[in-house]
Amino acid sequence: MTADSFLFWMLAAVTLCSGLAVVVISNPIYSALCLAMSMVGVSALFATLGAYFIAGVQMIVYAGAVLVLFVMVLMLFDLKTELVTFSRGKISGLLKIATVGVLAGFLAGAFSMTIEFAEKTGAATTVPTPDTSKALGTLLFTKYILGFETLGILLLVIAIGVVGLARSKGGTHAKH
Amino acid sequence: MPSIDIVTHIGLNHYLVLSALLFVTGMAGVLLRRNVIVLLMSIELMLNAVNISFVAFSKYLDKLDGQVLVFFVMTIAAAEAAVGLAIAVSIFKRYKEVNIRFFEHLKG
C-alpha cells in the first residue's frame, strides 16, 4: 500500500466517522467538536487532491470562523440536556431513513454509471502545478468576477441583516 | 481487475463515493435531528461533501473552475450559517429551547 492510498483511507475514515458522530451524538457541543474534526479531515483531503489554497481556506473559514460561530451560539444557549434528540414517530422515522436509503441508492447508481468516464479521466493523474493559487486568483477575477462581486454584496446584506435579526425586539419573541 | 487495485489506486471514484457517503450522512442528520443547531451542522456536512466532489473533478479533469465554485459554496455556507444561527437565537429568546417544532411560530 502506497503512502497516497494510506493517507486517503485514513482521512476518509476520520471524515466519515466524525461526520456520523455529528448526527448520532446527542450533546450539541460534542457534535460541534466532531464537525470541526470532519472539517479538518475534508481540508486534508483537499490537500491530497493538490488544492492547497482551498485547503487553507477551508481550515480558516470552516474550522476557524463557522465552527466558532456554532460553538459560541451553543455556549450562549447553555443547553444542558436535550430532551428529544431525534424526531419522534416510528413511521415517520422509518420513512426518513428510507428516504436517505433511496438517495444513497440513486447516488450509487449514478456513480456506477459514470465509472467508465471516471476511468477514462482518472488515468490522467497530472502533477499539481505549484502556482495553482495564482491561476485560481486570475480565474476568480476574470471569468467569475460577476459572481465574486455579487457575493460581496450578499455578504454585506447578510452581515447587516443578521445583526438586525438577532437584536430585533418584535416578531417571534415579542412580549404580549 | 483484482480487488487489491481498488485499495491501492485512489481515483476519482473513491472521492466521489466518499462525497456521497458524507452527503447521505448529512441528509440523515437534517431529517432525523430536532435541534436546529445540529441541523445547521448537518447542512454544513452536506455542503462539504459537495465541495469534495468539486475539488476531485477539478483535479481529474484538470480544470480550476471547480475550485472557484468551492469558494462560492463556502461563502454561501458561511452566510447561511449566520442567518440560521440568528434565527435560532431569536427562537431561543422566546422559548428557551431550539427545537425545530418552535419554528411554526415564526411570524412577523
- Model pLDDT for residues B54-108, shown as the tens digit of each residue: 999 888 888 888 899 999 999 999 999 999 888 888 878 777 777 777 777 666 4
What is the pLDDT, as a whole number, of residue A127? 54
**Rounded to an integer, what distance in angstroms lies between the CA atom of residue B69 and that of residue A147?**
10
Closest CA to A18 of B26, B68, B15, B105: B26
For B93, the closest of A15, A128, A173 (CB atoms) is A173
**Rounded to an integer, what distance in angstroms lies between the CA atom of residue A65 and that of residue A132?**
24
SS3 state of residue B98: coil
- Model pLDDT for residues B20-61, shown as the tens digit of each residue: 999 999 999 998 888 888 899 999 999 999 999 999 988 888
Q: How many Å lie between the alpha carbon of B13 and the closest alpha carbon of chain A?
A: 7
* Residue B23 contacts residue B51 (beta carbons within 8 Å): no
A145, closest residue in chain B (CA to CA): B68
Helices (H), B1-108: 3-8, 12-32, 36-60, 65-95
Interacting residues of A107 by C-beta distance below 8 A, sequence separation 6+ = B20, B23, B24
**Cell numbers linked to A14:** 476520520
For A136, the closest of B10, B11, B64 (CB atoms) is B64
* Residue A45 contacts residue B52 (beta carbons within 8 Å): yes
**Rounded to an integer, what distance in angstroms lies between the CA atom of residue B103 and that of residue B95?**
10
ipTM, two decimals: 0.88
Provide the residue-wise pLDDT of chain A in tens; the chain has 176 residues.
688 888 999 999 999 999 999 999 888 888 999 999 999 999 999 999 888 899 999 999 888 888 888 888 888 877 665 555 666 677 887 888 888 888 888 887 877 777 666 555 554 555 555 678 888 888 889 999 999 999 999 999 999 998 888 777 655 555 54
Opening angle at CA B34, ends A65 and A172, nearest 5: 80
Cβ neighbours, 10 Å, residue A83: 8
What is the pLDDT, as a whole number, of residue A96? 82
Helices (H), chain A: 3-24, 28-48, 52-58, 67-77, 90-113, 115-122, 132-142, 145-167
Q: Which run of H or of E encompasses B64?
A: none
What is the pLDDT, as a whole number, of residue A108? 79
Q: How many Å lie between the alpha carbon of B33 and the closest alpha carbon of chain A?
A: 5
Contact B78 A128 (CB under 8 A): no
B40-78: burial string, b at 16+ Cβ within 10 Å, e else: bbbbbbbbbbbbbbbbbbbbbeeebebbbbbbbebbebb
For A8, the closest of B10, B41, B87 (CB atoms) is B10
B5, B24, B65, B73: best to mutate for the A interface, most A CBs within 10 A: B24
